[in-house]
C-alpha cells in the first residue's frame, strides 16, 4: 500500500510483458518478470527482507519508456517455489551466495550484458554482494536504507537497541519469548520459527514481522503492517530473515564495506532516511566513507521505507538520471 503523496513521486502502474520461472537448482524455481521497454536500459530490482518478495508498485520506480525492468522473488518467498511457509521447507540451499548465483544466472538467461542494480534494505546488502562479485556486469548501483548485517546492526534492531525508540512495540516483539531466553532474541526466535508446529512458529513469525513492519516508516502505516502480516507471507519473511541473521549473511564481519573499493568505478547513489530505525544512517555513512565516489542522499523527513514520499522522490531522481547513461 502506497500513500497518495508517495504515489505521486512514482511512474504510473504497469503490467509485465513477460514472466517466467528460473530453474536455479536444488529444486528452486525463481519467479521473474520483465516490464517497461524491452529495448530499454536493463535494471534488476532486489527486494528486501530477505524473504519479502516483490510488489507491483516497485516497477513504478523506473521510467517505463526508458527501462527494461526486471523483478524477481528471491528463493523461498513471493511466487518462487518451494515457499518457505510450507511445512517441509528447507533453507539449506538459501544463502546470500545462492542468491548472487541466481541473479547472475537470470542475467545470462535474459541475454543482458550489463544492468543497473537497485536494492533497498536487505536488497542493498545483496546488491553490494552481487556487484562486488560481478562488477563487470553492473552499469550503475542504486541503494536505499543500507544494511550490511554487521553484528552491531543486527543487535541494534533485533536485540534491544531500537527499544529505546519504540518501547511499546518492543513489548509485543519480546512477548513470545520467555524472560530467561531474552538475552539472545535472534536465537530464541530461531528455535520457534524452525519448530514444525504451527502453534509455535506462526505466533513467533507474526510477532517478528509485526515488529519490523511497524517501525519501517517515520509515522505509523497500518496498511503496510497489514500487508506484511498475512500468515504465509509473515512465516516466510520471518523464517528467511532469521536464517540469514543467524548466519551473519554468510559474510565476514564488515565484508561489504571493506570491499567497497571494488565498486569505485561504478556510478552509484545511496538514498538514506535520516530517521531510519531499522537500518540506521550509521551504515550508509560508513559505506559512503569507504566509497566516497557514491553519492549519498540523506532524506531528512523519512524513516526506512521506499513508500515514504521523500525516499520515493530521491530514488526516482536517481533512476531518471541513470536512464540517460
Q: Cell numbers of 129, please?
A: 554482494
> Apex CA 96: angle with CA 16 and CA 298, to 5°?
70
Out of 63, 73, 276, 286, which one is annotated catalytic?
276
Q: How many residues does the chain have?
A: 325
Is residue 288 among the annotated active site residues? no
- The greatest distance separating any two alpha carbons of the chain, rounded to the nearest whole angstrom, comes to 58
Q: Cell numbers of 192, please?
A: 520457534
- Cβ partners under 8 Å of residue 179, min gap 6: none
Pairing of strands 28-36, 67-72: antiparallel
Pairing of strands 41-46, 18-25: unpaired
With beta carbons less than 8 A apart as the criterion, state whether 193 and 203 touch: no
- Integer CA distances (angstroms), 91 to 53, 124, 249, 283, in order: 16, 21, 13, 27
- Integer CA distances (angstroms), 232 to 12, 52, 99, 151, in order: 29, 11, 21, 28
Is residue 227 among the annotated active site residues? no
Is residue 63 among the annotated active site residues? no
Out of 47, 201, 243, 304, which one is annotated catalytic?
304
Q: What are phi and psi of 264, to 5 degrees?
A: -55, -35
Burial level of 153, CB count in 10 A (0-12/13-18/19+)? buried
Out of 35, 80, 85, 121, which one is annotated catalytic?
121
- Residues that are catalytic: 121, 276, 304
Amino acid at each position: 500500500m502506497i500513500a497518495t503523496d508517495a504515489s505521486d513521486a512514482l511512474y504510473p502502474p504497469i503490467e509485465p510483458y513477460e514472466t517466467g520461472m528460473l530453474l536455479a537448482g536444488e529444486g528452486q524455481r525463481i519467479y521473474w518478470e520483465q516490464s517497461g521497454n524491452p529495448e530499454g536500459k536493463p535494471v534488476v530490482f532486489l527486494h528486501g527482507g530477505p524473504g519479502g518478495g516483490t510488489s507491483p508498485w516497485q516497477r513504478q520506480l523506473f521510467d517505463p519508456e526508458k527501462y527494461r525492468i526486471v523483478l524477481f522473488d528471491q528463493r523461498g518467498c513471493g511466487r518462487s517455489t518451494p515457499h518457505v511457509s510450507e511445512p517441509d521447507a528447507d533453507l539449506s540451499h538459501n544463502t546470500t551466495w545462492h542468491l548472487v548465483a541466481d541473479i547472475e544466472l537470470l542475467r545470462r538467461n535474459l541475454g543482458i550484458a550489463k544492468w543497473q542494480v537497485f536494492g533497498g534494505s536487505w536488497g542493498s546488502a545483496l546488491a553490494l554482494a552481487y556487484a562486488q562479485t560481478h562488477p563487470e556486469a553492473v552499469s550503475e548501483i542504486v541503494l536505499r536504507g543500507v544494511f550490511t548485517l554487521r553484528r552491531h546492526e543486527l543487535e541494534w534492531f533485533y536485540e534491544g537497541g531500537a527499544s529505546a525508540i519504540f518501547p511499546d512495540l518492543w513489548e509485543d516483539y519480546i512477548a513470545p519469548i520467555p524472560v530467561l531466553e531474552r538475552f539472545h532474541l535472534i536465537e530464541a526466535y530461531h528455535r520457534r520459527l524452525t519448530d514444525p508446529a504451527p502453534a509455535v512458529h506462526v505466533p513467533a513469525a507474526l510477532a517478528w514481522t509485526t515488529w519490523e513492519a511497524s517501525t519501517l516508516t517515520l509515522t505509523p502505516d497500518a496498511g503496510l503492517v497489514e500487508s506484511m502480516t498475512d500468515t504465509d507471507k509473515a512465516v516466510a519473511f520471518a523464517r528467511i530473515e532469521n536464517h540469514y541473521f543467524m548466519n551473519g549473511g554468510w559474510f565476514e564481519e564488515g565484508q561489504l564495506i571493506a570491499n567497497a573499493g571494488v565498486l569505485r568505478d561504478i556510478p552509484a547513489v545511496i538514498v538514506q532516511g535520516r530517521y531510519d530505525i531499522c537500518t540506521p544512517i550509521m551504515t550508509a555513512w560508513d559505506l559512503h566513507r569507504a566509497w566516497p565516489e557514491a553519492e549519498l542522499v540523506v532524506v531528512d523527513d523519512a524513516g526506512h521505507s521506499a513508500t515514504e514520499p521523500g525516499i520515493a522522490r530521491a530514488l526516482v531522481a536517481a533512476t531518471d538520471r541513470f536512464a540517460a547513461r
